[in-house]
Amino acid sequence: MFNEQEKKALYDVIYKRRDVRTFLSKSIPSDVLQRVLEAGHHAPSVGFMQPWNFILVKDGNLKKKLAWAAEKERKALSIHYEGEKANQFLELKVEGIKEAPVTICVTCDPTRGGSHVLGRNSIPETDILSTACAIQNMWLASCVEGLALGWVSFYKKNDVRDILSIPPHVDPVALLSIGYTEDYPSSPILEEAKWEKRRELEGLIFEDTWGNKK
């Protein structure tokens, strides 16, 4: 059982965790990084398949290549926005791969655990959902350790596979840049940039069936 202080600590971390894209070059002590990885590894996984791997990218040349892949995709996507939204988009900083001391490529191996993983037989994407749970654990752990984390999702998967020599069947689910930062945001950066607002939770809850409000 957990006490009130422990409850408060968990909720504080959950509420204060932010997506960060500005990092100092200061390196991360290896025991701290290890705790973040252990937190990820203790996520739930469908059929206990633990489909994740963690590629710790610290090499400057590889980081440059990953940043190139992200920048290429950012330019391609900017074509889809027009007018005011296009200007807003071009001003957003979408990643900090070159600055961050480490970027972790979190992968999902759909063959882990054999051909008939319990539960994954019904819903195959439960393997990447498990991987996302690991990422959320790593994010909360980073936050409590005073580390900033940014989830980069601007890339073509095959570019990342090519750069990090990832086999074709393995899914590079996320690039997580981790490091220290000078200003940890107090609210979501997309809210601060007036890109999107937080919705009212009340409007997202239904009772018993879709659309039913008590």
- Fill in the DSSP letter of residue 15: H
Among 28, 65, 97, 137, binds a copy of itself (CB under 8 A): 137
Among 68, 94, 101, 185, binds a copy of itself (CB under 8 A): 94
Instruction: In whole angstroms, give the CA distance from residue 95 to residue 61.
Output: 16
Site membership for a copy of itself, residue 145 (CB under 8 A): yes
Q: How far is the CB of 148 from a copy of itself (least distance, A)?
A: 12
Question: Of 103, 92, 98, 95, nearest to 25 (Cα)?
Answer: 98
Site membership for a copy of itself, residue 121 (CB under 8 A): yes
Q: List all residues 6 or more positions away from 11 whose beta carbon is below 8 Å from its beta carbon.
A: none
In the numeric block, which tokens belong to residue 151? 């989830």
Q: Which is nearer to a copy of itself, 99 or 156 (CB)?
A: 156
Site membership for a copy of itself, residue 122 (CB under 8 A): yes
| Dihedral angle computed from the Cα positions of residues 93, 159, 108 and 55, in that order, rounded to the nearest 10 degrees | -70
Instruction: In whole angstroms, give the CA distance from residue 79 to residue 193.
Output: 20
Among 26, 169, 199, 213, binds a copy of itself (CB under 8 A): 199
What is the per-residue binding string for a copy of itself in 170-189, x denoting contact by CB under 8 A?
A: x--xx-------------x-
Question: Of 117, 113, 151, 114, nearest to 132 (Cα)?
Answer: 151
Site membership for a copy of itself, residue 54 (CB under 8 A): yes
Residues 58-87 that bind a copy of itself (CB under 8 A): 58-59, 62, 73, 77, 80-81
Among 26, 183, 211, 213, binds a copy of itself (CB under 8 A): 211
